């Protein structure tokens, strides 16, 4: 699951924000938020039904002046 899908899902279903508030917090349109939620719901449903681990790719954390030497491993929830 992409981090933006995870974040949209978390803001709406865990923090209880409505879609407009969540979209503003993420600085994306409501349409984009809706697509992120739809994708996240589908992936979570598949994970539960198919007994798969939930893998969330890490959020990008650009650091000014830093060079990329690798990335953090994905979050895996079992």
DSSP helix/strand/coil, 74: coil
Measure the CA–CA gap between 53 and 47, rounded to whole angstroms. Answer: 6
Measure the CA–CA gap between 10 and 8, rounded to whole angstroms. Answer: 5
The answer to whether 27 and 42 have CB atoms below 8 angstroms apart is: no
Averaged pLDDT for residues 50-78: 64
pLDDT of residue 73 exceeding 90, the answer is no
pLDDT tens-place string over residues 15-40 = 999 999 999 999 999 999 999 999 99
Query: Does the pTM of the predicted model rise above 0.85?
Result: no
Delimit the domains of the chain by residue range: 3-59
């Amino acid at each position: 699951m992409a981090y933006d899908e995870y974040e949209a899902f978390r803001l709406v279903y865990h923090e209880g924000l409505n879609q407009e508030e969540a979209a503003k917090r993420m600085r994306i349109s409501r349409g984009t938020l809706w697509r992120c939620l739809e994708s996240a719901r589908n992936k979570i449903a598949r994970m539960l039904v198919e007994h798969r681990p939930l893998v969330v790719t890490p959020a990008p954390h650009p650091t000014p002046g830093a060079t990329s030497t690798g990335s953090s491993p994905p979050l895996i929830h079992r």
